[in-house]
Chains A and B, each alone.
Chain A
Amino acid sequence: MSVDLSTVKRVARLARIKVSDAEAETMTGELNAILGFVEQLDEVNIDGVEPLTSVVEQSMKKREDGVSDGGYADKVVVNAPASEDNFFMVPKVVE
């Protein structure tokens, strides 16, 4: 499988990365080279093989359903580019 320019632009949109036409052009070639490389996997017979979901056999750890942390909203927002009264500030999203 390979990607064309419009697919690359669509994927960039999905990934929320702005790309210029020239960048999209370059990326198309690079992504196709990588997709060409991974095509080798088509040689492998995977009939009846289960996908690997965990490299270590261990049942999912559970913890008590209780509050174990928190109560410091001021610390949570301290690295935000814009915040006010312990809220993250973003451009208006609702008219």
Chain B
Amino acid sequence: MTNLIDLTIAEARDKLAAREISATELTGAYLGAIEAANKDINAYVAVTADVAQEQAKASDAKIAAGEARPLEGIPLGIKDLYATKGVHTQACSHILDGFKPEYESTVTQNLFNDGAVMLGKLNMDEFAMGSSNETSYYGPVVNPWRRAGSDVALVPGGSSGGSAAAVAAKLCAAATASDTGGSIRQPAALTGTVGIKPTYGRCSRWGMVAFASSLDQAGPIGRTVRDNAILLQSMASVDAKDTTSVELPVPDYESFVGKSVKGMKIGIPKEYRLDGMPEEIEKLWQQGIAWLKDAGAEIVEISLPHTKYALPAYYIVAPAEASSNLARYDGVRYGLRVPGDDIVEMYENTRAEGFGAEVKRRVMIGTYVLSAGYYDAYYLKAQKVRTLIKQDFDQAWENGVDAILTPTTPDAAFAPGEITDPVTMYLNDIFTVTANMAGVPGMSIPAGVNKEGLPLGLQLIGKPFDEGTLFQLGEVIEQAAGRFNAADWWSK
């Protein structure tokens, strides 16, 4: 018999519908896998076994009654920044100690309405600020992948490091994640998984712990392109509770998987070729180009001239918005409170103890760039540069380009503590941050391994609300590249 945790969402869905397996068995298999592996991987910060078993039982009843919904009985991990009613929700920060919301985020509610099962809450960088999952209050996540012949631990990327590691180690069928500058795509690339950041406004942000409101977007991490399409279908919605939720019907994403890409025009931006980039990344990129060409797509060189300014502009916009969003953590309404002689000292003590070093750094930068006299020099200028970045993409679409192909990251997974300089860490997002700045969708698909056997990803960037095309092209890459599984050392 097949191991239940090896099934993709699409496979599990078929077996559940055919009553070959039950939702209770499937959930039980994942809970067992988590029990065995979480001490090594540290992907889950809270396991909700009781909730999961109850939901699975309800799913079995639905299936028996012939009323199965799209995600009936599919066990998912939920990133800790989604508000889940009565369940641990802290964005992996000390400052939200003990917080259990009285409400459910729109995205998780959508998933539950479609029959999904929640296995627990997933580790992440504190408030989604990080590229290695080292800033979590709950400790770092360990990447299931290791360098060939080595047992040195590697980071899974971040901020959705728990989501990516849980998917790669088969501790959930798929996971929710979120992406402000690359937090879905970079960890997906570093763990051999597939992740998509949809267009800004496609998924409701209601009930997601806010980091940078003009950039944050929900999305899935899964094992295959098809599983991503299935999950995004349920996560996306039009929501009156989020004014930036866009009034557009959600297309049938899965119907794009497997469609021909013949005649599509794929842009290759020359600005994504960096000095000092490993040769393997360039090789992978050329391989991706060859696969799409073989599938009948037309390859064109394009220019996105403001690419190099996306990251510096991001490090003004994101901290500025974060400093404003994180002002709410003051020890009054929820979470940690550290007493002081007066109320201001209470605020200062609470925030000093409750925030980690990276969060403090970004709140400080944000406060500085928004402070009197500096607004025009920093924030306003960054927002103008952002217009130019978006115009670069608009120009490409006007020239008939259907999607853009780039590497996802400048390199493979690294070891914890290997990158200590904040700016060097930020460079991990150099290829992904442009899509956030322009609001366009981006997807990472595993496409190969480096000489040490570590996975590398290719990124597809699409037109606003054209996620369907990304699933279409992503499937071509997945079919050509095959799927990538880490050698199991964690389940013993």
Binding site for B on A (CB under 8 A): 1, 3, 7-8, 11-19, 27, 30-31, 33-35, 37-41, 43-44, 46, 49-56, 58, 60-61, 63, 72, 75-82, 88, 90-93
User: Is there an interface contact between B351 and A17, defined as CB atoms closer than 8 Å?
Assistant: yes
* B147 at interface, CB cutoff 8 A: no
Nearest B-chain residue to A13, judged by Cβ: B348
Report 26 cross-chain contacts, Cβ distance below 8 Å, ordered by A residue. A7-B368, A11-B364, A15-B363, A16-B330, A16-B344, A16-B348, A19-B352, A30-B361, A31-B361, A34-B365, A38-B382, A49-B387, A50-B387, A51-B380, A55-B464, A56-B201, A56-B244, A61-B240, A63-B240, A72-B102, A78-B102, A79-B102, A79-B334, A80-B334, A90-B332, A91-B340
Instruction: Please measure, in the bound complex, the distance between the C-alpha atom of A7 and the C-alpha atom of B373, giving whole angstroms.
Output: 13
Interface 9-residue window, one of B53-61, B187-195, B284-292, B304-312: B304-312
Least Cβ–Cβ distance between B96 and chain A, in angstroms: 9
User: Is there an interface contact between B334 and A46, defined as CB atoms closer than 8 Å?
Assistant: no
User: Is there an interface contact between A49 and B388, defined as CB atoms closer than 8 Å?
Assistant: yes
Least Cβ–Cβ distance between A71 and chain B, in angstroms: 13
User: Is there an interface contact between B342 and A55, defined as CB atoms closer than 8 Å?
Assistant: no
User: Is there an interface contact between A11 and B368, defined as CB atoms closer than 8 Å?
Assistant: yes
* B163 at interface, CB cutoff 8 A: no
A50-B384, A81-B337, A88-B333 given; 5 more Cβ-contact pairs under 8 Å:
A3-B368, A44-B388, A56-B246, A79-B334, A81-B334
Residues from chain A with Cβ under 8 Å of B200 in the complex = 55-56
Residues of B291-346 contacting chain A, CB below 8 A: 306, 308-309, 312-313, 315-316, 323, 327, 330-337, 339-346
Given A1-B377, A52-B383, decide whether A33 and B334 contact each other with a Cβ distance below 8 A. no
Instruction: Please measure, in the bound complex, the distance between the C-alpha atom of A60 and the C-alpha atom of B348, giving whole angstroms.
Output: 36
Least Cβ–Cβ distance between B344 and chain A, in angstroms: 7
Nearest B-chain residue to A17, judged by Cβ: B351
User: Is there an interface contact between A17 and B360, defined as CB atoms closer than 8 Å?
Assistant: yes
* B423 at interface, CB cutoff 8 A: yes
Residues from chain B with Cβ under 8 Å of A51 in the complex = 380, 383-384, 386-387
Residues from chain A with Cβ under 8 Å of B464 in the complex = 55-56
Residues from chain B with Cβ under 8 Å of A7 in the complex = 368
Given A31-B368, A55-B390, decide whether A41 and B422 contact each other with a Cβ distance below 8 A. no
Instruction: Please measure, in the bound complex, the distance between the C-alpha atom of A13 and the C-alpha atom of B351, giving whole angstroms.
Output: 11
* B439 at interface, CB cutoff 8 A: yes
Given A16-B330, A17-B348, decide whether A75 and B383 contact each other with a Cβ distance below 8 A. no
Nearest A-chain residue to B359, judged by Cβ: A17
Residues from chain B with Cβ under 8 Å of A79 in the complex = 98-102, 333-335
Partner of A40, one of B308, B330, B367, B390: B308
Given A40-B309, A51-B380, A56-B199, decide whether A93 and B343 contact each other with a Cβ distance below 8 A. yes
Residues from chain A with Cβ under 8 Å of B240 in the complex = 61, 63
Q: Which among B330, B334, B380 has the greatest number of chain A C-beta atoms within 10 A?
A: B334
Residues from chain B with Cβ under 8 Å of A43 in the complex = 309
Instruction: Please measure, in the bound complex, the distance between the C-alpha atom of A40 and the C-alpha atom of B314, giving whole angstroms.
Output: 12
Residues from chain A with Cβ under 8 Å of B309 in the complex = 40-41, 43-44
* B371 at interface, CB cutoff 8 A: yes
* B48 at interface, CB cutoff 8 A: no
Residues from chain A with Cβ under 8 Å of B67 in the complex = none
Q: Which among B240, B346, B367 has the greatest number of chain A C-beta atoms within 10 A?
A: B367
